[in-house]
């Protein structure tokens, strides 16, 4: 048996195989950038009118003076030229600043009468007001985004602005999610009294989906020969196998033996934690990674969010912030195991709080709907006082 920290260290040493693929920009949100993005021109690329109004030469301004409206400059046309400093040009937001002008006065800061615009006499007129100047946000060739950047809506806009119709992003390892167990039937089956519907692969696939990580899901019976045959094939076809069930001490928990016989070296079996103690982890000679998670639904769930998700994020160089929450009430846990307590975590009065909602053990997946995090309570303590702060693993947005 290893500690949680040892399990972390062992998993961290096993690399996740990433490749690079090209995706359409419209499908890139949620992916991680695999190329450097530079500005192909200054941003903004020209002195951009930032308000609807009139452009003048500020040097020609005097309080009370009226300017003849000599033309109109819409967004998307080539710039007009101010022929006389006594003229002004009506300008629209997004237009190029007309040549010969250097400031924009908003409609609401003056009056229009008989073809003339008269700024309010008390107005302070200065150069480059209401103008978003060329190159102020970025210069041509500036690095805008680096490889490893998570593409959120803001990055999507930046990529579009520099003409990236397709983008290079990291592709996560080819993965298969495998449930095991003779009691499990498909979701659309009518279970007999001694059967239950298989739910773990749905939770796992959904959790992976949130990482943009696609996986196939299959089911295998607790049958030694069947397991050998199918797992040999999956080890050939996929980079990562995520198994659930069949790793405990039961008579029909064949997986540890079968995996080792198939050449997957055990890197640990059993972690000093609750839930999820029977967790098995290994790697084959050819670098195929196997996470064999205990079948109890809360154990599977915890192990994914505590170990597999961070493994993937780290391989993408996405920083994982350490978030801590303050217990709202005392918790007592006697075994010398790290206890992953289910909790409702919330923000209040500038702090993150964790209200324990323990549930009925690792089989009680219904309780997961009441909580949004696990609080990680260390193995070497028994009493966890109210008001003390501990790390949390969240699996829903907090707000």
- Confirm or reject binding of residue 246 to ligand AMP (CB under 6 A): yes
The item of Mg ion, ligand AMP, none sharing an interface with residue 168, based on CB under 5 to 8 Å by kind, is none
- Confirm or reject binding of residue 294 to ligand AMP (CB under 6 A): yes
- Confirm or reject binding of residue 181 to Mg ion (CB under 5 A): yes
Shortest distance (Å) from residue 200 CB to Mg ion: 10
Exactly one of 3, 102, 161, 200 binds ligand AMP (CB under 6 A); which one? 200
22-30, 143-151, 160-168, 289-297 -> range binding ligand AMP (CB under 6 A): 289-297
Site for ligand AMP in 21-50 (CB under 6 A): none
Which residue, judged by CB position, is nearest to ligand AMP in the bound state? 295
Q: Are 246 and 181 in contact (CB under 8 A)?
A: yes
Exactly one of 250, 335, 361, 385 binds ligand AMP (CB under 6 A); which one? 250
Site for ligand AMP in 166-185 (CB under 6 A): 179, 181, 183-184
Shortest distance (Å) from residue 246 CB to Mg ion: 5
Residues 47 and 223: their CA atoms lie apart, in Å, by 72
- Confirm or reject binding of residue 199 to ligand AMP (CB under 6 A): yes
126-134, 155-163, 240-248, 384-392 -> range binding ligand AMP (CB under 6 A): 240-248
The item of Mg ion, ligand AMP, none sharing an interface with residue 200, based on CB under 5 to 8 Å by kind, is ligand AMP
- Confirm or reject binding of residue 256 to Mg ion (CB under 5 A): no
- Confirm or reject binding of residue 245 to Mg ion (CB under 5 A): yes
- Confirm or reject binding of residue 278 to Mg ion (CB under 5 A): no
The item of Mg ion, ligand AMP, none sharing an interface with residue 244, based on CB under 5 to 8 Å by kind, is ligand AMP
Exactly one of 295, 303, 338, 342 binds ligand AMP (CB under 6 A); which one? 295
Nearer to Mg ion by C-beta: 110 or 181? 181
Shortest distance (Å) from residue 187 CB to ligand AMP: 10
Residues 67 and 65: their CA atoms lie apart, in Å, by 7
Residues at the site binding ligand AMP, with contacts judged by CB under 6 A: 179, 181, 183-184, 196, 198-201, 244-246, 248, 250, 294-297, 363
């Amino acid at each position: 048996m290893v500690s949680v920290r040892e399990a972390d260290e062992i998993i961290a040493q096993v690399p996740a195989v990433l490749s690079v693929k090209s995706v359409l920009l419209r499908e890139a949100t949620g992916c991680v950038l695999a190329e450097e993005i530079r500005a192909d021109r200054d941003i903004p690329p020209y002195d951009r009118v930032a308000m609807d109004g009139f452009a003048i030469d500020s040097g020609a301004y005097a309080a009370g003076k009226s300017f003849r409206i000599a033309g109109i400059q819409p967004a998307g046309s080539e710039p007009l030229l101010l022929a006389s400093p006594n003229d002004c040009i009506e300008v629209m937001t997004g237009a190029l600043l007309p040549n010969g002008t250097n400031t924009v006065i908003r409609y609401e800061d003056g009056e229009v009468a008989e073809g003339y615009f008269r700024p309010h006499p008390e107005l302070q007129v200065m150069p480059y007001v209401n103008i978003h100047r060329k190159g102020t946000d970025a210069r041509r060739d500036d690095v805008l985004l680096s490889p490893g950047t998570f593409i959120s809506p803001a990055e999507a806009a930046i990529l579009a602005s520099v003409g990236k119709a397709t983008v290079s992003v990291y592709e996560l390892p080819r993965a298969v999610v495998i449930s095991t167990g003779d009691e499990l039937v498909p979701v659309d089956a009518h279970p007999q009294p001694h059967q239950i519907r298989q739910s773990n692969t749905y939770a796992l696939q959904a959790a992976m989906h949130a990482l943009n990580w696609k996986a196939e899901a299959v089911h295998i019976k607790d049958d030694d020969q069947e397991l050998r045959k199918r797992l040999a094939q999956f080890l050939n076809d996929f980079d990562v196998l995520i198994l659930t069930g069949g790793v405990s001490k039961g008579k029909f928990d064949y997986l540890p033996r079968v995996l080792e016989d198939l050449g997957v070296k055990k890197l640990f079996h059993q972690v000093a934690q609750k839930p999820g103690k029977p967790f098995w982890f290994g790697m084959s000679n050819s670098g195929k990674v196997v996470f064999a998670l205990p079948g109890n639904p809360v154990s599977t769930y915890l192990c994914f969010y505590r170990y597999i998700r961070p493994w993937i994020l780290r391989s993408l160089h996405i920083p994982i912030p350490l978030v801590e929450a303050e217990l709202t009430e005392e918790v007592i846990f006697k075994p010398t195991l790290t206890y992953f307590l289910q909790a409702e975590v919330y923000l209040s009065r500038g702090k993150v709080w964790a209200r324990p909602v323990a549930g009925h053990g690792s089989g009680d997946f219904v309780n997961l709907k009441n909580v949004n995090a696990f609080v990680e309570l260390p193995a070497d303590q028994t009493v966890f006082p109210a008001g003390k702060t501990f790390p949390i693993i969240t699996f829903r947005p907090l707000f």
